[in-house]
A and B are shown apart, each in its own frame.
Chain A
Amino acid sequence: QKEVEQNSGPLSVPEGAIASLNCTYSDRGSQSFFWYRQYSGKSPELIMFIYSNGDKEDGRFTAQLNKASQYVSLLIRDSQPSDSATYLCAVRKGGKLIFGQGTELSVKP
């Protein structure tokens, strides 16, 4: 079992819909969780982090964390074609971040 698992997709949603990206992790002791966005051919960029159970909102983005279920998700409201990218989930383990393989999101006009 991988330490951080994501559905590789592609996940396709229509413009204006809510995109839901999911991530599970195996280490129950993990404390910090991160979402990065990576456009094709570009470098990753940090868009959200969450430490506590529950929801954290930043503009159109909401990160959700459920430590009991070892599950973290990213919701993108009012999805735009410019949101089309690969979204990487990362979990802190000790002093290091472990990344999932990423979920490709495609937002169709």
Chain B
Amino acid sequence: DAGITQSPRHKVTETGTPVTLRCHQTENHRYMYWYRQDPGHGLRLIHYSYGVKDTDKGEVSDGYSVSRSKTEDFLLTLESATSSQTSVYFCAIGGDQPQHFGDGTRLSIL
């Protein structure tokens, strides 16, 4: 096990509600990443972090925010969920490229 845990694993919620996904690592990696995966699009980077309180945007950051107050935790927040954010979300840890991925969170927004 790479020491990376995502929670929750599944979530169903309604449009307009806030949603927070958590990624927890026990590997002390500097870099943490959030991706979404949709059919026909592969993996798309939402946000990433290169240290505590250091984050940057990815390809598809609109509608998402992140926070990293501790090395081990990286939170992804959908401030007001929309149906277009229905997806599978993966957290990853590593050096300057993602090396290990979490098991994913399947998020459905109705």
Contacts and interface: CB of A to CB of B under 8 A. Distances in A.
A93 B42 CA distance: 16
Interface string A77-92: 0000000000010101
A43 B42 contact: no
A105 to B, nearest CB: 15
A74 B96 CA distance: 22
Main secondary structure of the interface of A (DSSP, over half): strand
A58 to B, nearest CB: 15
Max chain A Cβ within 10 angstroms of own Cβ: one of B45, B58, B97, B100: B97
Interface string B39-67: 01111110010100000101100000000
A90 B103 CA distance: 19
Contacts of B50: 95
Interface in B73-110: 90, 96-104
Q: Please classify the interface of chain B as helix (H, G, I), strand (E, B), loop, or mixed, using the class held by over half of its residues.
A: strand
A96 B45 contact: yes
Given A45-B100, A90-B43, A96-B48, 7 more contacts: A8-B40, A32-B97, A44-B43, A46-B98, A88-B43, A92-B96, A97-B98
Nearest to A4: B42
B56 A95 contact: yes
B72 to A, nearest CB: 19
Given A95-B56, A96-B58, A98-B59, A45 B42 contact: no
B1 to A, nearest CB: 12
Given A43-B102, A43-B104, A99 B43 contact: yes
Given A43-B101, A92-B97, A101 B90 contact: no
A34 interface: yes
